[in-house]
Amino acid sequence: MSIIKVEAIPVRIKRDEAYLGGLPKAADPQAYFIRPPYRALYSAYFETAFVKITTADGIIGWGEALAPVAPEVVCAIIEQLLAPALLGRDPLDGNVLWNVMYDLMRERGYYGGFMLDAISACDIALWDLRGKLLDQPVYKLLGGAYRERVPCYVSGLPRPTADERAALALEYVQQGFNAFKLAAGHGVREDVASIESLHGALGAEATLLLDAHWVYSLDEAAQLGQALAGLGVGFFEAPINPEDIESHAQLAAAVAVPIAHGETERTRYQFRPWLTRKAADILQPDVGRAGISETIKIATMAEAFNAKMAPHLSVGLGVCIAATIHAAAAIPNLYLLEYQPPVFEIANLLLKSPLTCSAGFYEIPRSAGLGVELDEDRLGALQA
């Protein structure tokens, strides 16, 4: 039952539409770009990093890191640092192997970023393996599902005007979806106008969420947060620089709208001060950055603080989505799970059997392991 092979696969797939709408016509199609007012790098491609772990008896487990840029970095860490530590080990030793991987570079300060993304990909693959070896879906191994389906919100309405965003949201309403997240950060007045327009178009029954992408000061965030509370917004995500826990704590105390945080963090250690300092009401770890093991531990810790979970789920291409659905099913304090339709469509092209999301809910895969298998032939054909 020992692990005999660990393979890392960087992936880059051409896309026609970005999460935030539109793509630059760069001279170099491989170049990353910045999309003001946001400061992060974006790619003109869907980029990710898969890991394939094989046991001596030929069982394969698939994992995936959230790697929207430079997936080769994650793959190099897996191949050079993590694979040697996993070879010959028993994949059933989940917690032991997570700590073995985490301790490799811990004293050197690599307890976040790309190192944890690589560990998370391997952690997901190990859960997939354990499910297959024990002939159980991952959510069963996590203690069972608290819900038959996982509720979700549509993330991003990539249209340039408020009217066009409202029209797109209404199309999803016709399909049974009724929760939506806007990409904000364009200035307090513009963000308020944007959410007011969507509220007016959809009515009070719709759940509206706002992601500011870390662009505001404390004062600006407080002004926006007060307006959002009056509109019944479900959460205000990423309002201030993620390093500034104290300002988030002050904001959470000053406004009634729940403050959401977490896509930048990877471990229970990083999330702990956000709970103890009451800086976030809703935690958003990404399974592609935290893995299944840590996500469940973060959820358990959050439960003790009466905080909810709304896992971040951006450009995971199939394996990461399935892993997140399993984790979300097994979390008692789940709020909502993220759903990006363009990403979901591409992800399903890579899977032998597609995942299902309809009428505001993900269906939980019921077969052994994660319940999905990558189609490596399609993967090769779709790569840019």
Backbone phi, then psi, for 335, in 5-degree steps?
A: -95, -75
Run of H or E including 270:
helix 268-276
Sign of the dihedral defined by the CA atoms of residues 165, 169, 172, 177, in that order: positive
Told to judge if 312 belongs to the known catalytic residues of this protein, a careful annotator would answer: yes
Planar angle of CA 79, 311, 204, nearest 5 degrees:
155
Contacts of 114 (CB under 8 A, 6+ apart): 70, 73, 74, 77
User: 3-class SS at 209?
Assistant: strand
Q: Which residue in this structure is represented by tokens 């407080």?
A: 222
Going by DSSP bridges, is the β-strand pair 41-42/45-55 parallel, antiparallel, or unpaired?
unpaired
Residue in 213, 248, 261, 312 annotated catalytic: 312
C-beta neighbour count of 112 within 10 angstroms? 15
Distance CA 313, CA 161 (A): 25
Secondary structure (DSSP) of 81-115? IIHHHHTT--TT-HHHHHHHHHHTTGGGT-SSHHH
- The amino acid that residue 52 corresponds to is K
**Which of 178, 146, 141 has its CA nearest to residue 333?**
146
Largest CA distance in the chain: 60
CB 315 within 8 A of CB 47: yes
DSSP letter at 364 equals P
Yes or no: say if 274 and 267 are a contact pair by the CB < 8 Å rule: no
Enzyme catalytic residues? 312
